[in-house]
Amino acid sequence: MRILVTGGCGFIGSNFIRHVLGGHPGDEVVNLDALTYAGNLENLADVEADYPGRYRFVRGDICDADLARRLIDDSQAVVHFAAESHVDRSIEDASTFVRTNVLGTQVLLGAAHRSWTSGGGQDQERRFVHVSTDEVYGPLALDDPRGFAEDWPLNPQSPYSASKAGGDHLARAYHHTHGLPVVVTRCSNNYGLYQFPEKLVPLMIINALNGRELPVYGDGLYVRDWLYVLDHCRATDLVLRGGRPGEVYNVGGGSEQANLTVVQEIIRLVAECTGRPAEQMRGLIKHVKDRPGHDRRYAINAGKIMSELGYRPQMDFARGMAQTVEWYLDNRAWCERVTSGAYRGYYQRMYQGR
């Protein structure tokens, strides 16, 4: 099938495109991305050459209804990754988050509804996968033995998670009202290759390599379930092909870790790979003023996707983090271009005038 992937130049989207093209030889992918600050075409630099005729990039905004309709008219599925996702940025200015995560999602849903009902009835062979986050459930107490289940009430606590919850509600409303074949996924914290360095894991790796401070919010004991990005891509693919319309599927890594533990593990791995003294890098840890409204813990119950679709995370935290650190060490030029902003020139070099 031809799949429209939104936000395909981002961290998770680019990994998903590689997963689909490598694992499903009959599939084609159209990648719609606005190339905002975290969208990096270099993440897919080799894809056009490796998969001729099966991959196409379109630069555009998901809020452009005409463009969305044209692309969805020609697609059998939509996998919607495009989102503003950094909580800190949402605290500074929520307007972009509302525009992209709420309005942009509604534009895509509306385009899919109009396109897929043009023959008079909803085409149930199509799929619209709306990729969301466990943050929409709100905080969980440290001693609560439960993980978020799909029927857990939504209780978002940051502008980011509130905007994602708005998109979730719209997606499910389009299924209930119009019969649109929508499936929602909610994942835990992703980590892995090609992640933009404002997020915890790549920021700590890059700063440790460069001898810079390692800023940790508050006491550093905020707990998250860590999900290796390629496990998330496999889960999303399973939902795309086998998920039931109207359902929500939680995706977790089965590995709860405190932020400070993650930082300590990164230090250990960087020291092991580079020969630098771990104790010296530990001295770079700086506990900084906490983020406003910082949720103490998230935890996922992924039993539904496991029982219905056979999902199991293949990467445990220790191996996943080791592979992630190794990738960033092997791709320092990529890191330098991203942190300097030089990666933005790739679009002009490759696509300007084409």
Interval 206-238: pLDDT, tens: 999 999 999 999 999 999 999 999 999 999 999
Q: Name the pLDDT band for 353 (thresholds 50, 70, 90).
A: low
* Confidence (pLDDT) at 120: 56
Q: In this structure, how many other beta carbons lie within 10 angstroms of the beta carbon of residue 285?
A: 17
Q: Give me the percent of the chain exceeding a pLDDT of 90.
A: 89
Q: With 70 as the cut, is the pLDDT of residue 21 above it?
A: yes
* Confidence (pLDDT) at 344: 75
* Confidence (pLDDT) at 134: 97
Least confident piece of the model among 91-105, 304-318, 334-348: 334-348
Q: Give me the percent of the chain exceeding a pLDDT of 70.
A: 96
CATH fold of the domain at 2-341:
Rossmann fold (3.40.50)
Query: CA 184, CA 86: separation in Å to the nearest integer?
Result: 20
Copy the structure tokens of residue 354: 């084409």
C-alpha atoms less than 13 angstroms from C-alpha of 306 in its C-beta half-sphere: 12
Q: Which of 229, 197, 324, 330 is nearest to 269 (CA)?
A: 324
* Confidence (pLDDT) at 122: 60
Highest mean pLDDT: which of 47-56, 142-151, 233-242?
Answer: 233-242
Q: Name the pLDDT band for 199 (thresholds 50, 70, 90).
A: very high
Residue 56 phi/psi, 5-degree rounding, is -140, 135
Summarize pLDDT for 94-141 with one digit per residue, the tens: 999 999 999 999 999 999 999 998 765 566 689 999 999 999 999 999
* Confidence (pLDDT) at 37: 85
Contacts of 64 (CB under 8 A, 6+ apart): 107
Q: What is the 3-state secondary structure (H, E, C) of 90-150?
A: HHHCCHHHHHHHHHHHHHHHHHHHHHHCCCCCCCCCCEEEEEEEHHHHCCCCCCCCCCECC
Least confident piece of the model among 48-52, 56-60, 240-244, 298-302: 48-52
Query: CA 183, CA 194: separation in Å to the nearest integer?
Result: 26
Cα-trace Rg, the chain: 20
Q: What is the pTM of this model?
A: 0.94
Q: With 80 as the cut, is the pLDDT of residue 343 above it?
A: no
Copy the structure tokens of residue 9: 């130049």
Summarize pLDDT for 259-285 with one digit per residue, the tens: 999 999 999 999 999 999 999 999 999
Q: With 80 as the cut, is the pLDDT of residue 184 above it?
A: yes
* Confidence (pLDDT) at 125: 84
Q: With 90 as the cut, is the pLDDT of residue 350 above it?
A: no
Where in the chain are the domains?
2-341
Catalytic residue numbers read: 134-135, 160
